[in-house]
Amino acid sequence: MPIALGKATRIVQTLLKSGKEYIALMHLHKKIDEDLIKKTFDEFLGKIKQLPPIRSAVKRQLRTREIYYLNILEIKDKDVLFKVGCEAGTYIRKLIFDMGLKLKTQANMQQLVRSKAGPFTDKTWHTLHDLKDAYTLYKENDNEKEIRKIILPIEKAVQHLPKIWVNDSAVSTLCHGADLSIPGITKYNNFNENETMALMTLKEELICLGNSLVDHDYIKDNDKGKIVKTAKVFMNRDLYPKKQ
């Protein structure tokens, strides 16, 4: 679970919208042939329709979500352990319930662990205990080594987003909420229209997030025009000087 600290807090909304991976344990109410289970799992790949559960934060209407991968790790009697990569907002409990229906039995979720949220994976996560130890080491022994492994710069939370790097003189205006036009651009990634973009300084600092108004080809072919509509500013507006 990514946790954002202090002024970085608003970055979590970006992560909410990014793809997720879970490891889940499905319990079937009767024993089912393994091949049939495998075949049924494959049928739930790609776009699926889900009705959000009764107690959910969103309006209860059928909505489409994409399942990117769905791999069975182990089948043991009536339990199926699997890994699923899915679009944000996919209800895994519901997915399990629906797979149960398809298997003509009931199925419920016994366990759920998230193994990826955007760029954050379970390979690099830390416990509260790690954090406490690292903080103590830092405060009492002035040793930064461990805490620096745990508390990462906010830029780590946007590493999955397409980026545009801007020149120094564009930074302050972006910090004041202006949109990005071509003259401010130094380098850029490939991106599509209407994507969440991270605008960066040449020192690799995050300035703000915004939405692309065009795709990246437009930058190559033009010398003016708006490229990104600024949405959320993270950088302190006094860090870079105002344009002379």
User: From the list 26, 28, 95, 117, which residue makes contact with another protein (rule: CB under 8 A)?
Assistant: 117
CB nearer to another protein: give 186 or 194. 186
Report yes or no: 24 and 109 within 8 Å, Cβ to Cβ: yes
How is residue 187 written in tokens? 């380098």
CB nearer to another protein: give 36 or 56. 56
What minimum distance in Å lies between the beta carbon of 229 and another protein?
Answer: 19
Task: Show Cβ contacts of residue 129 under 8 Å, excluding neighbours closer than 6 positions.
Answer: none
Is 213 a binding residue for another protein by CB under 8 A? The answer is no
CB nearer to another protein: give 103 or 200. 200
Instruction: Report the site for another protein in 164-193 (rule: CB under 8 A).
Output: 167-168, 171, 182, 185-190
How are strands ordered across the β-sheet holding 63-76? 46-50, 63-76, 79-86, 20-28, 107-117, 120-121
Size of the site for another protein (CB under 8 A): 88
How are strands ordered across the β-sheet holding 206-212? 163-166, 196-200, 206-212, 226-233, 180-181
Stretch that binds another protein, among 27-35, 47-55, 99-107, 173-181 (CB under 8 A): 47-55
